[in-house]
Structure 1
Amino acid sequence: MKEVTTEHKLNSLQCCVIIPTFNNHKTLQKVIDRALVYTKNIIVINDGSTDSTPQILKEYPQIQQVHFQNNKGKGQALRAGFKHAESLGYHYAITIDSDGQHFPEDIPVFVNELEKTKNKNLLLIGARNMSQESVPKKSSFGNKFSNFWFWVETGNRLQDTQSGYRLYPIHQLKDLKFYTSKFEFEIEVIVKAAWHGVTVKNIPINILYDQVDRVSHFRPFKDFTRISILNTWLVILTFFYIKPRDLYRKLKKKGIKRFIVEDFLGSQDSPRKKAFSIALGVFIGLSPLWGLQSVIVIFLAIVLNLNKTIAFAFSNISIPPFIPFIFLASLYTGNFVLDINHTYALNDISMDFEALKHLKTYIIGSLSLAVVSSITLGILSYFLFLFFQKKKATVANA
């Protein structure tokens, strides 16, 4: 039987190779030649190079080329490459840097992973061995920093989020809006892809850091600042829009009854973890943290490795219809703790925010109420989950 080549696989998967380049004349030709071993479906984006890059590319009339008159940044180069690839009918694109740190010999690694994976809605990131001695410490730190924020923003843990050696499902990304133009685009695209249901995962690749000819255009201060600003914005979107949106979609799709049965009672998490998630949600929901409850509860659920859906749902105990009653309960709890004898009217609380007139009483009372309620509901829910778990096990063994 004739062996199926990588080139044939790339063609059948409608996949091309995109090489963005800016002033890498010393390594560009070697990268192109080694990539041509596997495919002629290559698109080079010349991002306004001022060296001999244009002359080098004249020697490759057989490959697609896009030339920028001025340097626009790696993000713009990749976006232009995606658009051009899509216009040529490609569904996937493998991006490889032109500075010589990536091995074109790893192209089959991406192709084989895509081919064998049932879910073709897939974005692959080449995972570098960041522990080797040749890796600069600032690169290792930047990668860990980026990995952490990607986890916060998507709930997905990756080993490497900054590698430029990737396989993109460009047909799945065409309707997404991107706003960044430089190195930070590589963060924006994977976060937004994950938000829209694309599976983002790592695969191991080779890396060469200590070659003499490598030229990096990453500017530590400017580009790290850009990435930090982007992550700040993405975290805000995560807590105020993405997480609530996902919860709403799940509720709408399943209905309240099925949602409770499957996501609460039927969750694979242990009774202890689910009970702690409820306790956290109730505590945050009853605490005097108005306007910040969603952000705080999701952040703490991620940090404490609790069930984010359960914690978020129970933090919404303080929905508008309940707020006057929560205020009233907090004030009377504050009376009890501080040994104060004061009467409050529900109408006054809902119209004049009586709690603001007795701020100390309200804050102490709300925190006390939050602690007692979270502990009580946490314990009750633990035994409830334990009961359902044992009942489910009994039915399964019957």
Structure 2
Amino acid sequence: MGESTTEQKLNNLQCCVIIPTFNNHKTLRKVIEGVLFYTKNIIIVNDGSTDSTSEILKNFPQIQQLHLPENRGKGNALRLGFKHAESLGYHYAITIDSDGQHFPEDIPVFINELEKAENKNLLLIGARNMNQESVPKKSSFGNKFSNFWFWVETGIKLQDTQSGFRLYPIHHLKHLKFFTSKFEFEIEVIVKAAWHGVTVKNIPIQILYDETERVSHFRPFRDFTRISILNTWLVILTFFYIKPRDLYRKFKKKSIKRFIIEDFIGSNDSPRKKASSIALGLFIGLTPLWGLHTLIVIFLAIVLKLNKTIAFVFSNISLPPFIPFILFASVQMGNYILGDDQSFNLSEITENFEVLKHLKTYIIGSLSLGVIVASTLGIISYVLFLFFQKKKAPVANA
């Protein structure tokens, strides 16, 4: 692909290239010159370098430069670069590391992928071949570790989540809040982007690890600890907010009829899986874990690999109109199991909260009621699903 073609595409897509750099004087000039072959829309963020970086950059007055007085971290440099790019009217930014591991020749790969994509709300991550002999073992392990947690947090499987060679849709990211400023920012940004509807995918790129020139500023203990803390927080948010939010939005968009046809009867899950999902939802919905039903049922549905939508819907058996009846039935069940001879009526439970005086009775009763209802309706639904499955099965030709 010719120089002018790629440059024109970059201009048409309002895309620039951001190069964050910190003490990479051995490779910086080569990287800049390589990028200049494709575009002059370059923003250099000098993150407080103490080597000859400033002198090198004096030779490139034609490109945008941000010079920070002290090193604040790669994440901070990228965020400042995004903000500056947006102020200049760019909608996309390709980021490339200045340590020489990336090939500017791969810039057209990003541009072509963006150009042909129907959905332009796209974040591309260059996927490196981590099986090359030159790739350090710690980098390969760290990448696999990061890929796993990204899948847990977003449900998206990627080959490489740590590559710094990326294309960001900065006009779609400007309203998101970020809190990290070091290497972990590159994880935070792709997770939050995915949570907010940005398509995140890999594209293959070349990679070069030349230890004679490359200078890595990744500090294994400190930065790995930061990344681990970030992933812990993101996982908590995933299970306690993001997944319940997504299920609620999905269910809200559908009518009851559509839900029954598509997710309930028409789901490709087996009858056993759908029936088990119903049983799980009913059991959790009848337990005394008020306020935590949705969080717990989503977590267990994921762990047990059940249908999250079905489990979520049936956990809502404890909607406000049904609560008095559930409390009453639970207390009566508890009385029966414990052999207590105490009578209650709905008005006592709803007005005087008498159930709180007999918490043991209520808890035992609600758990028992949950087991009975979940088991009974789970078995009934399993039989019905088998019936519908056989009814839908094509009749074999004689």
Common topology (TM > 0.5) = yes
Aligned to 1:215: 215
Partner of 1:86: 86
Deviation at 1:336, TM superposition (A): 4.3
The residue aligned with 2:19 is 19
Contact in 2 for aligned 1:250/1:259 (Cα 8 Å): no
Distance, in Å, in 2 between the alignment partners of 1:314 and 1:305 is: 16
Distance 1:303 1:108 in 2: 41
In the TM superposition, what is the alpha-carbon distance from 1:53 to its structure 2 partner? 0.8
Q: Provide Cα deviations, 1:106-149, integer angstroms capped at 9, x if missing partner.
A: 22222222222221111111223334454444434433333333
Structure 2 distance, partners of 1:243, 1:260, is: 21
Match of 2:130 in 1: 130
TM-score, scaled to structure 2: 0.87
Letter of the structure 2 residue corresponding to residue 262 of structure 1: E
1:168 matched to which residue of 2?
168
- 2:193 maps to what in 1? 193
CA distance in 2, matches of 1:339, 1:262: 45
Cα distance, 1:308 vs. partner? Answer: 2.2
SS at match of 1:5: helix
Q: Is the 8 A contact 2:244 2:298 kept in 1?
A: no
> Does structure 1 residue 71 correspond to structure 2 residue 71?
yes
Question: Secondary structure at the residue paired with 1:99?
Answer: coil
Q: Which amino acid aligns with 1:307?
A: N
Aligned residues: 396
Matched-pair contact (CA < 8 Å) for 2:244–2:295: no
Q: Determine the C-alpha separation between the residues in 1 that align with 2:207 and 2:376.
A: 54
Distance 1:37 1:102 in 2: 15
Instruction: Give the structure-1-normalised TM-score.
Output: 0.87
5+ unaligned residues in a row in structure 1: which ranges?
none
Q: Which residue of 1 aligns with 2:289?
A: 289
Structure 2 letter corresponding to 1:124: L
Q: What percent of counterpart residues are identical? A: 80
Which residue is 2:10 aligned to?
10
Shift of 1:354: 4.7
What value does the CA root-mean-square deviation take over the aligned residues? 3.0
AA at the equivalent of 1:298: I
* 1:205-284 pair list within 5 angstroms: 205-209=205-209, 211-284=211-284
Alignment of 1:309-328 (within 5 A): 309-328=309-328
Kindly indicate whether the alpha-carbon contact (under 8 Å) linking 1:283 and 1:374 is maintained by their aligned counterparts in 2.
yes
CA distance, structure 1, for counterparts of residue 155 and residue 29 of structure 2: 39
C-alpha separation in 1, matches of 2:111 and 2:379: 50
Secondary structure in structure 2 of the residue aligned to 1:350: helix
Deviations 1:134-177 (Å, cap 9, x if unpaired)? Answer: 44444344333333332333222223222222111111112222
For residues 268-313 of structure 1, give each alpha carbon's deviation from its aligned partner in whole angstroms, at most 9, with x where no partner exists.
4444433332222222222343333322222222233333222222
Give the SS at the match of 1:18: strand
Contact map agreement 2:4 2:38 (CA 8 A) in 1: no
Greater displacement, 173-182 / 205-214: 205-214
Greater shift in the superposed pair: 18-27 or 346-355: 346-355
Q: Tell me the distance in 2 between the aligned counterparts of 1:136 and 1:378.
A: 52
Deviation for aligned residue 1:390: 5.2
Q: 1:388, CA displacement in angstroms?
A: 4.5
Query: How far off its partner does 1:67 sit?
Result: 1.4
Tell me how far apart the structure 2 counterparts of residues 3 and 14 of structure 1 sit (CA, whole Å).
Answer: 17
> Larger deviation: 294-303 or 231-240?
231-240
Of the structure 1 ranges 66-75 and 8-17, higher mean CA displacement relative to structure 2 is found in 8-17
Distance in structure 2 (CA, Å) of the matches to 1:320 and 1:40: 61
Q: Any stretches of 5+ residues in structure 2 without a counterpart?
A: none
**Distance in structure 2 (CA, Å) of the matches to 1:210 and 1:342:** 79
Contact 1:239–1:294 (8 Å) recurs in 2: no
State how far apart, in whole Å, the 2-side matches of 1:95 and 1:212 are: 23
2:114 pairs with 1:114 = yes
**Secondary structure, aligned partner of 1:230:** helix
Structure 1 pair 42/389, CA: closer, same or farther in 2 (3 Å)?
farther
